[in-house]
Amino acid sequence: MAETEFTRKIFGEALAEYGAIDTSVVVLTADVSSSVLTSYFAERFPERFYNVGIAEAGMIDTAVGLALGGMTPFANTFAALLLRAVEQIRSCAAYADTNVKIIGSYAGLSDFKDGPTHHSIMDIAVMRSMPNMAVIVPADSTEVRKMVPLVAQYPGPVYMRISRADMPVVFNDSHRVEIGKGVTVRDGKDVTIIANGHLVSRSIEATGLLKEKGIDARVIDMHTVKPLDMPLLRKCAEETGAIVTVEEHSIIGGLGSAVAEAISRDYPVPIEMVGIADKFAETAPDHDSLLDYYGMSVEDINAAVQRVLDRKERK
């Protein structure tokens, strides 16, 4: 098993640590601070922490007011529950272009035990369709930690996913992160696997098996779904001629859709998408088996690579 880290804790600590440096940061939570671990910030800076109760819509609008007042609010709850506040996010964060940082924790299927009400498989589709909104899905705990200050300093509204899972370690501390710039994790010439979040590590794992079959796969960590790194995307399409997208999200509207929209216009190449089919998942004893069961296993990634290479050959 790959080494893992307690991602939520690393996020919570990073937020508290950054809050010490940047006193404009305020944190809001809708009764889940001990789950999403904004409790670390609350302990250190109680005067800059607001627990609004189970009131997600009100939390977003309160954060908007704080942003209008010159603060840098981080509004935190489960990603699935943010769907309650979509109109607030659209009207008051995105349209009004306020400096609100929205953190969707327990994202994807990572709250495996609580079932489809708590799974978040459409958050990226909703958030990235909003003008002005940046959308970020970090690949591991290191990337989460390094993203926190960047998200705070990014001008305008940002949505960032945090997994409930202990994410496998992908990057070491020398990892350089920039919003809007994809990361080439592994170079390759036959096909590009564009992944984000928890599935970056699985995509890297897939390249080992592919290599045994003589397939040299490139892996991109596309942590920023919006704004999408178009120069990198075009380069990958040109150099490898085939793309597989891999994400812990519905295949409707997520990273795969974003890549397909861009590539179909810019440099069309065959694309296969790995993600959750257009259906709700179910409860499971653990996160990994849920990812496997719903079509995001290492084998599923390999099969998608095989399919896209067949299509590339036929061209």
Partner 1 sequence: MSPDAHSAELIEELRKISVELRTDALRMIYRRGQGHPGGALSAAEVIAALYFHHLRIKPEVPDWENRDRFILSKGHASAILYPALAKRGYFPVEELDTWGEIGGRIQGHPDRLKTPGIDMSAGCLGHGISIGAGLCLAARIKGLDYRSYVLLGDGECQSGIIWEGVMLAAKYGLSSLIVILDYNKVQLDGRVDEIMPLEPLREKWASFNWNIMEIDGHNMEEVLDSLDEACRSSDKPTVIIAHTVKGKGVSFMEGKAEWHGKAPSTDELEQAIKELTGNG
- DSSP states along 197-215: TTHHHHHHHHHHHHHHTT-
CA dist list (Å): 308 to 5, 19, 155, 234, 264: 33, 45, 38, 17, 15
Question: Among 4, 5, 31, 57, which residue sits at the site for partner 1 (rule: CB under 8 A)?
Answer: 57
- Whichever of 63 and 167 has its CB closer to partner 1, that residue is 63
| 104 binding partner 1? (CB under 8 A) | no
Burial class (CB in 10 A: 0-12, 13-18, 19+), 172: exposed
285 preceded by a cis bond (ω within 30 of 0): no
Q: Cα(68)–Cα(73) distance, rounded to whole angstroms?
A: 10
| 91 binding partner 1? (CB under 8 A) | yes
Beta carbon of residue 47, minimum distance to partner 1 (angstroms, whole number): 7
Residue 212's CB is within 10 A of a number of other CB atoms, namely 8
Question: Among 68, 86, 209, 260, which residue sits at the site for partner 1 (rule: CB under 8 A)?
Answer: 68
- Whichever of 58 and 180 has its CB closer to partner 1, that residue is 58
Catalytic residue among 56, 143, 247, 248: 56
Q: Is 56 a catalytic residue?
A: yes
| 26 binding partner 1? (CB under 8 A) | yes
Beta carbon of residue 59, minimum distance to partner 1 (angstroms, whole number): 8
Question: Among 63, 162, 269, 290, which residue sits at the site for partner 1 (rule: CB under 8 A)?
Answer: 63
Question: Among 5, 83, 95, 184, which residue sits at the site for partner 1 (rule: CB under 8 A)?
Answer: 95
Query: Which helix (H) or strand (E) segment is 36 a member of?
Result: helix 33-36
Burial class (CB in 10 A: 0-12, 13-18, 19+), 142: buried
Which listed range, 47-55, 155-163, 248-256, 257-265, lies at the site for partner 1 (CB under 8 A)?
Answer: 47-55
| 122 binding partner 1? (CB under 8 A) | no
Place of tokens 């399919």: 307
| 93 binding partner 1? (CB under 8 A) | no
Using CB under 8 A, count the residues that bind partner 1: 29
Q: Cα(288)–Cα(108) distance, rounded to whole angstroms?
A: 12
| 43 binding partner 1? (CB under 8 A) | no
Could you list the active site residues? Answer: 56
Residues within the interface to partner 1 (CB under 8 A): 26, 47-48, 50, 52-53, 55, 57-58, 60-71, 73, 87-88, 91-92, 95-97
